[in-house]
Amino acid sequence: MLLSLNISADYAGKPGVLRDVSLEVGEGEIVGLVGRSGEGKSTIALSILGLLSFKGGSCRGRISFQGRDLLKLNNGEMRRVRGKEIALVPQSPLAALNPNLKLGSQLDEAWLAHARGTRDWGPLLESVSLPGDPCFLRQRPRDLSVGLAQRFLIAMAILHGPALLLADEPTSALDLITQAEILRLFTYLKQSTGVAMLYISHDLASVASLCHRVAILHHGQIVECASSAEIFRNPRHPYTQKLIAAIPRMPEPLAADISRLVSSTTGC
């Protein structure tokens, strides 16, 4: 198992944010972590990265990653893990990038954090459907759309070939078309690189389209964890049943019209 954890977490004045949360991610597997805002999804990601203390929180228990307990590593050891072996794709791409640095400089700095020498960024950027020419690398984050900024952050995340990606609400700031493009990109990356992913979201539709398994977080605990098919076809926990029932459903006449339109335009 690539990642296996059992943790509890607290914040100052807010105990029990996570209570004996158990979660596993296998090699090359995409696991969805679903729950409402404030349930503790990002707390799990910060705990895995060893960053929870910077948010005023504390974590106890065990986080086993490739045979090591990350909670027993010191700050220097965790810095060697973060970005190289475990990478983060955050929620707000434009806020995550340095507004004063050109894109090429940001890639250079991320590279030099764990490696030496220089790299040709063209192939990396092209792998996430971004232009790899020098003109693009001279741009700054303010020159990018939100969707392009998210693709650039994904490029930075896979820069060192990590074994695990933590994607924390990576499509929440995107329009529906761009969301679909990013989800296809994640699927491509999994197929082409074998990277595993913990996909954190409250968007059940994106989870259903991407993830092999789904864990449901409620009141600081995992209340259900099963294959995506099982979760969506036969949810067992009452909270999971409420989440599934809350998914907007397209009226049947409209769905039929769209289906006919798609068929007529594709010739299928």
Question: pLDDT tens digits, residue range 199-251?
Answer: 999 888 889 889 999 999 999 999 999 999 999 899 999 999 998 888 776 55
Distance CA(241)–CA(109), nearest Å, equals 45
Question: Rounded to the nearest 10 degrees, how much is the dihedral formed by the CA atoms of 139, 142, 143, 144?
Answer: 110
Q: Which residues contact 41 (CB under 8 A, 6 or more apart)?
A: 33, 34, 35, 168, 169, 200, 202, 217
Mean pLDDT of the chain: 90
Distance CA(149)–CA(136), nearest Å, equals 12
Determine the average pLDDT of the residues in 65-74: 96
Question: pLDDT tens digits, residue range 14-57?
Answer: 999 999 999 999 999 999 999 988 899 999 999 999 999 999 99
Question: pLDDT tens digits, residue range 84-134?
Answer: 999 999 988 889 999 999 999 999 999 999 999 989 999 999 999 999 999
Q: Is the pLDDT of residue 267 over 80?
A: no
Determine the average pLDDT of the residues in 75-86: 96
Question: pLDDT tens digits, residue range 131-159?
Answer: 999 999 999 999 999 999 999 999 999 99
Distance CA(231)–CA(218), nearest Å, equals 15
Domains with residue ranges and CATH for the chain: 3-266 (3.40.50.300)
Distance CA(231)–CA(82), nearest Å, equals 31
